[in-house]
Structure 1
Amino acid sequence: MMNNGLAIGVIAASIKQVSELGRLVKGAGYNVAASVEIKPGLTTPLPQVDVWVANLDLHDPSVRSVMDYLDLDGPPVIYEDDLQIVPPPTKAVDEKPLLPAEIRQQKERRLALKLRQLVRDSAAETRRRAKKVWVLAASTGGPEAVAEFLAGLPDELEGVALLYVQHIEHQAMSNLQKVVTRHCGWAVETTEEARVIRENTVYLISPQHQVELLEGGVLSPLQEPWGGRYRPSIDQVIAKVARVYRERGGVIVFTGMGDDGANSCTMMHHRGGQVWIQEAASCTIDSMPVSVAKKGCAQFSATPAELARRFVKLHQEGLRPQQS
């Protein structure tokens, strides 16, 4: 029995790929509401759907305008590449490879899971999708500094969402969520399941598992743990936001020990996004913001309360921060 909870469109660069995506959607238990083959010079507006399932070459100039639409103004996008099954690194040498039918079944199950999560998210959310996404990055002393920043935000800031990446143990996440909720008038969500990134929402990045950030603005948990010394990895999250949101992205690095985030702040800067830091004198430990400052990419430095005031002005009035 087909599930009609979402209007799903399939879009690809050839009719063969469109047909394959259609079979994948139907195999996942859903109807296809629209099918689009991208041809050179395509100018016809795309149909209205709730989510696109796409197979597109991101480097093909002929699909650039379509990609820009999907990235900026379209509904969530699930790319066929994101449904690929990645074998674990510990796979036995003599283990038999999956048959084509088994690969398809696994892709259908993964697509069905993503679509069910989007159904739940769409039913629960009335906020619009965020067009601007900023990362709040912190370690030692972070909850207090970030709470002060959040307390300075209005209950509504059009088009903006925040991803809060705090070095923390998983068992402390519930307390962190309470702290954020108490100091902020925005919705507060975790990343235990896939979510469309909505405006006026703070997303707490789990230290237990990695997350992927899809081009359509969807956060989805992965089974893999974070690599490296830090959990969650600030560098990885900033890099994902810089790649997807470019000049519509940003990061504020608060107090913390170590240098997690410094490398990806450089990437955010080169992609056109904003890089701000908490001033050293107001930090519990200033290693993290100082490491960003040494990269030469920080555009503004201030106390958490001053960062909040400048953040609000930037998004309400279009104010560009001065190099500090």
Structure 2
Amino acid sequence: MTEQAPGIALLACDAGQRQQLVQVLSTFGYRIVSAEDPASLQPEDLAQIKVDAWLLELADESPLTEWLLEHSDVPVLLGAGEIPAADCEDYPRWQCRLYGKLQPLLGTPAQGQAPSLAAPPTPNPEAHPICVWVLGASLGGPSAVKRFLDTLPASLPLAFVYAQHIDPGFEQQLPQVIGRQNDWKILNCRPGSRLQAGEVLVVPINRQLGFAEDGTLAVSDEPWPGPYQPSIETVLDLVSRQFGPACGAIIFSGMGEDGVAACGRLRQQGSEVWTQDTVSAACATMPGAVLDAGFSHRQGSPEELAAALERWLAREWSAAS
């Protein structure tokens, strides 16, 4: 007798998203028990649906979500994430993220196909890092970024571009300030060099950073556009063009709203955008603006964000055995 595949009930408001998720979950080998329009259901209807897990894409205030969180005796997964276009480079990573949430809870179906990514190459000090993330900060930023880097291993296949609103007189001191007590290589910009894994590049305050066609660093004497020096908005767009989609951003403590619109553009291309939470930030205005705009995937303290990034890298770049 063939063992029955684990059953999933799907609640998604958008009909197109619902259809896509049904197809993907079925490809994984899971059994779709229910995929009704949530608008047609009442909380008491959910008690009649016998499943092994629920997958929800509902508004936060949905009474269906509230009922399941209170009464369900099986796992309830909140959100499958934004679904990239099927021909987008980030689509396989999205599939792996979703499968990575389901498989530990439900096991591996006997039938179906697990998603996979190619294994990353072994980091080569002469090559580009696999991922480049922007660390954006203003008031209270150096302390937060230092806590983040102190927690995160420097051996990861990852590099950072650190854009900090600060007086130009402190630019040369930033590597010493944030590099103590961790193994990250904190560097002021050296034109002609290449960004490598294990490095944190401090963005110049009064000069624009750029990348040549071959990936080497370039610096212009032109000031940054807009009211902020450096312009986190411009840095985010620059890194997105040069390294996307293998890039992301974390917005730490700071004043103002520099970078909000560019964070939205990162989201649209499928890249991660995270923010420091209001509890741990010395000034929560800047990360709060990104969060209020709906562009933050994750919030947390610097230590929590470091741990989450290490897990994210392991999941994103792991190959199926």
TM over 0.5: yes
CA contact (8 A) 1:148 1:183 kept: no
Instruction: Please name the residue that 1:251 is paired with.
Output: 249
CA contact (8 A) 1:139 1:255 kept: yes
Q: Deviations over 1:154-192 (max 9, x none)?
A: 13002x110000001121112211012214312121114
Structure 2 residues not aligned, in runs of 5+: 1-88, 90-123
More helix by share: 1
Secondary structure of the residue that 1:297 maps to in structure 2? coil
Instruction: Please name the residue that 1:41 is paired with.
Output: none
CA contact (8 A) 1:277 1:298 kept: yes
CA contact (8 A) 2:190 2:217 kept: no
Instruction: Please name the residue that 2:118 is paired with.
Output: none
Instruction: Please name the residue that 1:148 is paired with.
Output: 147
Aligned equivalents of 2:127, 2:148: Cα separation in 1? 23
**Inter-CA distance 199–146: structure 2 relative to 1 (3 Å threshold):** same
CA contact (8 A) 2:273 2:297 kept: yes
Q: Deviations over 1:47-67 (max 9, x none)?
A: xxxxxxxxxxxxxxxxxxxxx
RMSD: 2.0
Question: Percent of counterpart pairs with the same letter?
Answer: 32
The structure that has the greater radius of gyration is 2
Q: Greater shift after overlay, 208-217 or 149-158?
A: 208-217
Q: Deviations over 1:34-88 (max 9, x none)?
A: xxxxxxxxxxxxxxxxxxxxxxxxxxxxxxxxxx9xxxxxxxxxxxxxxxxxxxx
Aligned equivalents of 2:282, 2:153: Cα separation in 1? 26
- 1:147 maps to a residue whose letter is K
1:154-193 matches, within 5 Å, as 154-158=153-157, 160-193=158-191
CA contact (8 A) 2:209 2:218 kept: yes
Aligned equivalents of 1:275, 1:319: Cα separation in 2? 18
Instruction: Please name the residue that 1:202 is paired with.
Output: 200
CA contact (8 A) 1:145 1:254 kept: yes
Per the normalisation by structure 2, the TM-score is 0.58
Q: Deviations over 1:171-227 (max 9, x none)?
A: 111221101221431212111423211111000001020011345433210110112
Aligned equivalents of 2:228, 2:243: Cα separation in 1? 23
1:91-170 matches, within 5 Å, as 126-158=125-157, 160-170=158-168
Equivalent pairs counted in the alignment come to 196
Secondary structure of the residue that 2:279 maps to in structure 1? helix
CA contact (8 A) 1:279 1:303 kept: yes
Aligned equivalents of 1:144, 1:307: Cα separation in 2? 14
CA contact (8 A) 1:254 1:288 kept: yes
**Inter-CA distance 177–315: structure 2 relative to 1 (3 Å threshold):** same
Instruction: Please name the residue that 1:228 is paired with.
Output: 226
Secondary structure of the residue that 1:281 maps to in structure 2? coil
How far apart are 1:306 and its partner, in Å? Answer: 0.1
Secondary structure of the residue that 2:179 maps to in structure 1? helix
Per the normalisation by structure 1, the TM-score is 0.57
CA contact (8 A) 1:157 1:316 kept: no
Aligned equivalents of 1:129, 1:198: Cα separation in 2? 5
CA contact (8 A) 1:164 1:204 kept: yes
CA contact (8 A) 2:191 2:216 kept: no
How far apart are 1:319 and its partner, in Å? Answer: 8.5
1:273-312 matches, within 5 Å, as 273-312=271-310
CA contact (8 A) 1:137 1:251 kept: yes
How far apart are 1:247 and its partner, in Å? Answer: 1.9
How far apart are 1:316 and its partner, in Å? Answer: 2.5
Secondary structure of the residue that 1:301 maps to in structure 2? strand
**Inter-CA distance 215–280: structure 2 relative to 1 (3 Å threshold):** farther
**Inter-CA distance 215–293: structure 2 relative to 1 (3 Å threshold):** farther
Secondary structure of the residue that 2:133 maps to in structure 1? strand
Aligned equivalents of 1:244, 1:143: Cα separation in 2? 25
Structure 1 residues not aligned, in runs of 5+: 1-67, 69-124
